[in-house]
Chain A
Amino acid sequence: MNQKLQITVSPHIRSSVTTGSIMLDVIIALCPALAASVWLFGPRALYITAICVLSCILCELAFELITRRTPTIGDLSAIVTGMLLAFNLPVTIPEWQAVIGSIVAIVVVKQLFGGIGCNFANPAITARIVLLLSFSGTMTNWTKPAGFSGGELVSSATPLVAEPGAAPSLYDLFLGKHGGCLGETCALALLIGGVYLLIRKVITWQTPVAFIGTVFLISFFAGDCSAPAALYQILSGGLMLGAFFMATDYATSPPTAAGKLVFGIGCGLITAAIRLWGTYPEGVSFAILFMNILTPYITKLCARKVFGAVPAKKAGAGSAKERSRQSI
């Protein structure tokens, strides 16, 4: 019995949660919204999503091969980025513009900063903003969902700029029967996905509740205390998608509960401010990107209180006789 035994540091058991399993959960959570987008906008929604996902995977693989790094497409994060990017595009977007979005997201925002976990901004959000500024025409070519306008994809305004009278009902908003990016319109499907992520403990409630709650409250008080008007605000645009899937991105948001609340409230404030008083009809992407930049500071301010900590000066003196439970 003189076989070789492994020597490693404790702990010797690990949780079954891996980066890959988390990403898989996010993909599963995005599936209801993907199904809804196909139902609303037709098969082209699936086609655009496939293009984004494939180009994201290829970009990641190509970059890592060229820079001689270990390929990380196995962690599934490129698929998540691809899906989120597609969900942020109008269904009529030309394929080549979608591919440019993937390159921006994966190569510029994610890989040039060091790959997964090292990016300071959300790849899909940043790519959407780059595309919006570069191709304002095609990026704001909203279409009314096909099945509800005589079978054709007809241009329509996003409900955020809809004329009074032409605005969809709250019920239609909830089901996603209105113009918008292909994955952002169906609040119901996004909520199902968000609840799944909460149950699976992939995300916590703080960010989405603070984000959506802030937008609701500001719209409520800015809109003469009308609850339907405030509901209209939180059900339209990219708020549900942003609050559950983009603002909760680990690398670009604070890790602690308090930090997530601050982050969510900040996102909500900026979103509402842009929507109500800004030039752009929609502010979710800008809000998240701006809060991404503030994340390191929020993280620092909202660090957890250390148990039994005494200020650093005193700590040096008497700590030699450490007697915490540890091995020899």
Chain B
Amino acid sequence: MKRMKGVKVPHMKSTGDSIPARMTDLDIAVYPMVQHIGTPCKPVCRPGDPVYVGTLLGQKNGGLSSPIYSGVSGTVNKIEDILLSDGRYAPAVYVLPDGKMTPDPTIAPPTVTDLQGFIHAVEDSGIVGLGGAGFPTGVKLHVGDSSRIQEIIINGAECEPYITSDTRTMLDRGQDMQEGIRLLQKYLGAKKIIIAVEKNKPTCIRAMRSIAGGDDTVSVKVLPSVYPQGAEKVLIYHTTGKVVPEGGLPIDVGVIVLNCTTLAEIARYIRTGMPLVEKCVTVDGSAVASPMNVIVPIGATLEAVFNFCGAFKAQPGKVLYGGPMMGVSVPELSMPVLKQTNALLALDAKDAAPVDAANCIRCGRCTNVCPVGLAPVSIAAAYGSGSMETLQKIHTNLCMECGCCSYVCPAKRPLVQQNKLAKAALAAWLKSNR
């Protein structure tokens, strides 16, 4: 089987051995009502309301949405719009913590007896794709006839540099993962479960093999150490050889992909009834004094998390949600840790120095590393000339925005940025033509 292309990025996973420390002391907790792909949640609390760990703050709004719960106990302070890292505004609930971290007294394990009940429970848990995508997991499991599912892939690739929070899940939460696998087998009737881990994490591979041991339907797949192994289509192809068609979903080829932390969280929710309220986050980067893994109550501000990690040793030039390949830069340190935050990186001035783009030298590196075989230079040219037909013809929509093209470009051209713009323009054009 021919492997999909990609780039060898520096791993920088220095926090792999850092057992997560728990952070509980917050001054303020902020809950934007968008922590998933889809419509924002509707706030269900008012200023002055008392809340506990696990109290519902924002309820699911429409099909593609996921409820949001408080990660601290305290009082609702205010509800006002907040600027998100993607440039949109959304309402956010601010909670003043009382420092006690009292769990909500109404919390009880959900009663799950069948598939529908299981999917409802996952929807209620507030769990979204924790690998960074933020796609509501309940929606993903809604596949209609569950006999369509041939394989479930547990994504432990963690191909982004720096991030080790999934590593910690695989090392520290094997029990949860094992429980999660049993739930998938019981309710989704999963015939084959494949845990996929990148080759650069031998300890995780061992841990996962011990989980899979004794069950013929569970296996561990060791992936090459090439970014982006964790991207859904690449992962599916490298574990099963199946090709997800353009515009299709993994379930179209009988596959569901779940991140390993997502799986562990599902098991924990079914066992305890405590929704998704905390997250293991890798705090790293050249500006951070002591890089480490931290279990953070969702809603904690980045400033508080960085201070927990010994503050900055150098003035940060850029702060990121997520890894350096696909992470989103953050405008303010007052922004909070979200459900899908798996890493916070603070880069010093040198690492954050902007690069100047020069002429394309037509070396073809971008085309040759693209996992799906796109030609970013052609996309940029078609987008520049406004030719939507060409954009469609060269399959611009297949770009997964992994950033390999921009990474390798010797002229440092903003290729993935142009791909994103082209995708948006093409989507708008297709919509208006329909």
Contacts and interface: CB of A to CB of B under 8 A. Distances in A.
Interface of A: 1, 3, 5-15, 17-19, 21-22, 72, 75, 77, 114-118, 250-251, 254-257, 303-310, 312, 314-328
Contacts of B328: 10, 327-328
B131 interface: yes
Contacts of A12: 318, 320, 324-325, 327, 329, 345, 347, 351-352
A250 B398 CA distance: 26
B128 to A, nearest CB: 10
B420 interface: yes
Nearest to B88: A328
Interface stretch (B66-74, B108-116, B264-272, B366-374): B366-374
Interface residues of B, number: 97
A305 B327 CA distance: 28
Given A8-B354, A307-B373, A117 B362 contact: yes
B127 interface: no
Contacts of A315: 246-247, 392, 395, 397
B403 A306 contact: no
Closest 4 CB pairs of A and B: A255-B364, A319-B247, A11-B403, A304-B373
A3 B346 CA distance: 13
B355 interface: yes
B315 interface: yes
Nearest to B358: A19
B214 interface: no
A5 B318 contact: yes
B54 to A, nearest CB: 23
B75 to A, nearest CB: 25
Contacts of A22: 361, 363, 410
Contacts of A316: 392, 430, 433-434
B315 A309 contact: no
Interface SS majority for chain A: loop
A168 B318 CA distance: 64
A18 B133 contact: no
Nearest to A310: B246
B328 to A, nearest CB: 5
Interface string B302-328: 010000000000011111111011111
Interface string B1-22: 0001001011000000000000
Interface SS majority for chain B: loop
A228 B3 CA distance: 40
Contact of B361 (A250, A309, A326): A250
Contacts of A21: 410
A322 B397 contact: yes
Given A18-B412, A310-B246, A304 B367 contact: yes
Contacts of B406: 10-11, 14
B331 A7 contact: yes
Contacts of A320: 427
A306 B322 contact: no
Nearest to A70: B358
B248 interface: yes
B333 interface: yes
A207 B329 CA distance: 41
Contact of A306 (B360, B372, B402): B372
Contacts of B325: 10-13
A118 B360 CA distance: 8
A1 B412 CA distance: 31
Contacts of A303: 375
Query: Of residues A7, A22, A75, A317, which shows the largest number of chain B Cβ atoms within 10 Å of its Cβ?
Result: A7
B303 A1 contact: yes
B50 interface: no
B133 A325 contact: yes
A306 B395 contact: yes
B416 interface: yes
Interface in B25-62: 34, 36-37
Contact of A5 (B249, B317, B409, B434): B317
A250 B363 contact: yes
Query: Of residues A255, A305, A310, A321, which shows the largest number of chain B Cβ atoms within 10 Å of its Cβ?
Result: A255
Interface string B159-185: 001000000000000000000000000
A325 B230 contact: yes
B360 A8 contact: no
Contacts of B319: 5
Contact of A13 (B9, B228, B243): B9
B212 interface: no
A79 B164 CA distance: 45
